A = this chain, B = another copy of it.
Amino acid sequence: MADGQLANHSCALTVEDRRDRLRLARSRRVGAVTWHRLMAEHGSARAALAALPGIAAAAGVEDYEVCPMGVVLAEERQGLAAGARLLVHGEADYPRALSDIPDAPPVLWVRGDVSLLHRPAIGMVGARNASSLGMRMARRLGQGLSEAGFTVVSGLARGIDTAAHEAALEGEGRTVAVMAGGIDVIYPAENDGLARLIDERGCRISEHPPGLEPQARHFPLRNRIVAGLSRAVVVVEAASKSGSLITAKAALDYGREVMAVPGHPFDARASGCNGLIRDGALLVRGPQDVLEALGAPTDARPEPVMQLAPLPGPEAPQRPLKDVALLHSMILNRLGPSPLAEDQLLRDLKVTSAQLAPELLSLELEGRIARQPGGLLARVD
């Protein structure tokens, strides 16, 4: 399968080959993984189509027929009528990030700015019945990530998805909505206006034939595309066993970064996110945390919460106290009102521990410096 994908990558496909690939994708019981297997095994969509009835017969399916050409031609007309164009796996316009996943959609109908599919993208997913805190966080992230140059990918659902798309549109407009049904079937209907805005300034995509009404089983499929398109997936608010966790799992399987916004453990809407963080997902407090993790330039990095300084080694050499005056002014000059680690003081003054230790003891006995927990030294003024 990998060989087939690589060999097909970036080819200019003929009209016939594109049509055969679509036809194979629409043949009964050929899902994405099966499509790639058949392509790899038979070398071309045409050969796979020719082999399919025999394979089905060998599997005990007597009446198997591949998708009729008329159905494919009708889908092409319907997609064009919906203002969409078709991207076929194996051609250059197909999103590179998505083509890397083992169950990449064989075909995609796309509307809007296709170039967004080729920019670095971040998936944002979360609860449909999100809290107001969750919605605020989704807006903050969507706007910040869009302004930082990332495409924000989500699923046009209620709640977090809607907030992420809207905020990205308010930012630089870089957002991609992955449809659970056909490209021309806006679900939920209340997001019709949002879908129109995305068509104008962002991009919508669907792997299904136009006209397909989404059913329960289509949502996990949609989620894998969100994950596949993205360098990282941020789960904003998710209960345990929610669809967002399927997206997170797909992202992990695809080698994408998984990040999550925490919440209080007593808030059930945070249980999915907290579980992800406990299992190793990066804790996200805002756009900076995401950008920092992806190595993107950020305006302001959050301050580290703690500076870890080693404790003074218990084996530090002791020596008799003498020549006490020498280092004192250097030490006191270096020690400000903020505590400093002894280790750092050693480096700053370029002296050895054996030189410094007795002078620190002297200053301590003089009451001019104080030792604080954690091996920190402070000046007493």
Contact = CB atoms under 8 A, between A and B. Distances in A.
Contacts of A59: 321, 324, 361-363, 365-366
A37 B318 contact: yes
A373 B246 contact: yes
A214 interface: no
Given A262-B264, A365-B55, A311 B102 contact: yes
A318 B265 contact: no
Of the four ranges (under 10, 10 to 19, 20 to 34, 35 or more), the interface on chain A belongs to: 35 or more
A220 interface: yes
Contact of A253 (B304, B365, B375): B375
A374 B249 contact: yes
A33 B266 contact: no
Contacts of A305: 240, 245, 272, 275-276, 278-279
B282 A278 contact: yes
A285 B265 contact: yes
A277 B306 CA distance: 12
Contact of A306 (B245, B325, B357, B367): B245
A83 interface: no
B33 A371 contact: yes
A309 B254 CA distance: 11
Contacts of A274: 262, 283, 285
Interface string A305-318: 11011111011101
A58 to B, nearest CB: 5
Contacts of A374: 224, 246, 249-250, 253
A264 B265 contact: no
B304 A279 contact: yes
Nearest to A5: B314
Contact of A361 (B34, B217, B267, B306): B34
B364 A29 contact: yes
A40 interface: yes
Nearest to A276: B305
Nearest to A269: B264
B371 A306 contact: no
A82 B248 CA distance: 58
A246 B305 CA distance: 10
A371 B36 CA distance: 13
A350 interface: no
A20 interface: no
Interface string A111-147: 0000000000000000000000100110000000000
| Residue of A41, A56, A64, A373 most packed against chain B (CB within 10 A) | A373
Nearest to A363: B59
Nearest to A262: B262
Contacts of A291: none
9 contacts: A1-B314, A55-B361, A59-B321, A59-B361, A60-B324, A102-B312, A220-B373, A224-B373, A261-B264
Interface of A: 1-2, 5, 28-34, 37, 40-41, 52, 55-56, 58-61, 64, 102-103, 133, 136-137, 217, 220-221, 223-224, 240, 245-246, 248-250, 252-253, 261-267, 270-272, 274-279, 282-286, 289, 302, 304-306, 308-312, 314-316, 318, 321-322, 324-325, 357, 361-367, 370-375
